[in-house]
Each structure stands twice: as C-alpha cells, then as structure tokens.
Structure 1
Amino acid sequence: MKNRLILPVLLLLAWGCQKEAPLPEGTAARVGGETITQQDIDARTALLSKEDREFAKTPTGRQNLLQIITREKLISAAAKEEGLDQSDIYLSLMDDKRAQMAEIYQQFAEQTLERMWYDKLQETGVTAVTDEEIAEYYKKYPYEMTVRQIIVDNAQTADQVLRALKASPSRWKELERQYSSAPETLKTLSFMPGEYLTDIEVIAANSPAGSVQGFFKTAQGFHIIMKTNEKRLSRKEAEPRIREVLENKKLDNVLESLKNKYEVVIYEKSE
C-alpha cells in the first residue's frame, strides 16, 4: 500500500522539476519570457551618474536598480501586448531615432578618422615643433594682448558705431549692449600673436592701449576693437601656447597642400 502512494508522489515531483527550465547563468530576474541579466544591469549602471553608480554597487542600490529595470520590462511587455509597437506613431518615432543615430555614428566615424590622422602627423613628425622653433618665436612675440570687440553684421552699422566710439570711447558698454552680436566669449579676448585672427592681431599689435580701431571685416562680421592691455609673458607661460600656434601653422600647411591635391572648390562666398 505504501509503495503505491510513493510512486505517484515521485512522479509528481519529477514533473514539477521539469516544468521550468533552468535559468541561464547570470540571470538576475525574469519578466514573462524575457530575462534580465548581469549584462543588462551593467549597461544600465554605465548610464548613471558617478554618485548613482557607487550606490548601485551596494546591495540596496542593486535591488533598487533591478526593480527599475523590471518595471520597465513590465511596461514594455504590456505595451507590446496592446500592439503599441506596431502603431504609426511608434514606428515613425523609431524611424526618426534611427536617422539620428545614423548621423551620430557618421559624425563619430569622421571625428575618429580626423583624430587618428592628427595623431599620425604627430607620430611621423610632420607637425612636431622643436625647442629652437619655440625660442625663435618667443624672441619675436613674447607678449599677450587683450582687446575688447564689438561685432556687427553690416558695414553701415559698424561705421555708425565706430564714429560714436571715436567721439566718446566711454560709451563702449552702452554701444556694445545695443549693437554687438559677439558671444560673451568673444567680447573680451587675450591672445598671443598667432592665436586669433591675423587682421585683428596686426591692428592690436600696432595700437596703443585705450584706442578704438575699426572696422575690420572677417567671416564673423564687422569688428571694432579697443586694445586694453599688453603684457610680456615668461618663457614658461608662453611655451605651451607657442607650441600649439606652431603646430597649427604646420597643420595649415599640410591642409593647403591637400586642397590642391583634392581640388577643393567653395562655391558659396561670404558677402
């Protein structure tokens, strides 16, 4: 009698064990037929702020993060069951996002190639700068100039502003606020020769402090400048800046030769 009762119980236990397949290794949770793995948790953790990443490493933080991911999986499953993933709005949004991601990927690809090309120029010595070149440049240009500038978008306004400033330089702030289109980063600039626009540098270098000069046309607009200061830099202060100036000059020479090689033609001209 006892044997007859034991057999059905054993069969029932065996069936219960076979009902659910073993979970893949590294599985932290399951929502329906979809598992949440350590890889999912790591991917989400990487998107968190530094402070939240540290919290996610704690047992409580990990449980909170797992609850968040589980909740999202639940919502996703419910939305798909209702067919929202096949709606015109959803599909349109996904198409837009794919286009955005494709553009981001393309920009990343171009920037990566550009950076690798720059690195190769440095490795091969094409843009390398010697101590002798730095010493020679410093001997000629050991100073830094500071200028304020007003930039306007047409010559008529530039002439009007320049006349007003020549008559009364103290009106600078008033006229700058009223007419200048220059961003904050360009309103006051300090630069060594070679670090800014050549036309502005030449005028600034040959102007006494406090004098108003202009107007000069560049791709940015029509400039009116006032030199406010000039100071001599130590060799230690100037050296890294000079190195960058000379590296950029050598890079410009390479790019000029490439323009001829690849026949660059710009059809749109500035006014």
Structure 2
Amino acid sequence: MTTFDLTGRRALVTGGARGLGAGMAQALTAAGARVMIADVLKDVGEQTAAGLEGGGFVPLDVTSDGDWEAAVAHTVAELGGLDIVVNNAGVEVTQLIVDTEPDDIRTMLEVNVLGTMLGLKHGLRAMRPGGAAGNGGSIINISSVAATIAFPAIAGYSATKSAVDRLTRVAAMESGKLGYGVRVNCIYPGLVATDMGVKLAVETSGLGLFESPDAAVGAVVELTPSGRLGEVADMADAVVFLASDASRFVNGAGLPVDGGMGM
C-alpha cells in the first residue's frame, strides 16, 4: 500500500459524465476508491459509471440545494460513506467584456460559484463529526488557470474561477477551526483539448483574437513552459494526490496543473 492508495474510500465527482470529470472518476477508481458520478447528463453519466468498478450515477444539478442533499444522501447510502468530493462541474461562456450578456454571467455564477459552494456545504456537512459519513475527508474544487492569467474573452469565466479559489481557502479555514477533519484544496487546470477547451479555441478565433483555432492553441502552448497542452490524466492525477494521504498536510491550497502557464 502507498500513500496514494484510496482503497476503501468513497468519492462523489460532479460533472463526471465526460471530459475532465470522467477522467478524474476513472483515476480515483484506479487508485482504489468507489466513485459516484453526479451530473445532469443522465445517459452519458450512466454509461461512464458503468465502466467504473463499484461506482454509480446520481442525477445532480449543482445549482440546486435539494439536488445536492439528495445526491450526497444517495452516495452515502449506496457506497457506505463519503470521503472525497470533487467539485468539477462548470461552464464557460466566451465573450468580450463589451459584449457582456448578463444571463451568461448569471449562468456561470450559478454553476461555477454557487455550485461549488453548495458542494462544499453538503460535503462538509456529511463528512464532519456527526454527519452522515462523519469520518472527515478531502474536498477538491476545480478552479482554472483562467484564475491566474489575463486571457481575452473569458473575463466572466476567470472571475468565477477566481471565486472558486477564494471559496477553497475560506472553507479550509472554517473546516479547521470547527474541527471538521476535512481538507479543502483546489487545482488550476491548464487548457485541455476537451469539448470545453476546443470550444474556447474556436470561439476566440471567431472573435478575431486569433487567426484560427490552431493559432489560439498555439498561443496557449507558447505561454506554457512545458510546451504542450494539458491532458486529462494530468488533472486526474492531481486530484488523486489531493484526495490521498500523500497530501495529508496540504490544506487550503491552490495547485497549478498548467505546465507553468500561470506562473
């Protein structure tokens, strides 16, 4: 057994049906955890969950307090507890500040900020002493390199992901001061060629900021000391680290997983 071993632990991953979330769920499973995928995409989520040994699926709109209460209760009942929550669900809308659409900003605030805050609320309630699980644990929030750099056409997204960083640090302090036994950290993923990442490249070039989607990707790579885009496995391995005993004295931290782009 190593300090990265998650055998016997139970995890809930939001936005786990596809993309980064699916990769995180698979990596947690490979490390020994049983994983509940929570997503609004029922068919895709159930299909992804079917490939996870000992895992499952629960429908979850992260902006709904009631959905969160039900999803956590279902996870505890089905998996026998809860030790890890990954607040991964998020949305990105590409637009210039001069073209700001209030409804788009509200959507990002609801999903990226409120959704993470509700995940913290119900994760901490379940894992603290006296909670439904009650054995402490680890919460990992997914911020973004967008919280640490100035990249055009993602002002609203950057603002919400900066908020995720602040939420992480306050939650870690509250958990510590109140004796919850739950560590709270976040990661800042760099650009990955998921559906969301490809969409960003296409849309920023469509706004005339880059000559083409390939040029947009090239600009990101040029800003990255490691000289490449991120991969799903890069982000998933970081989540396993923060969920495991290998990070037992890491708390209230933001871990860049961006190849140095945000340094």
Q: Give the TM-score normalised by the residue count of structure 2.
A: 0.19
Higher-Rg member (1/2): 1
Greater relative contact order structure (CA < 8 Å, 6+ sep): 2
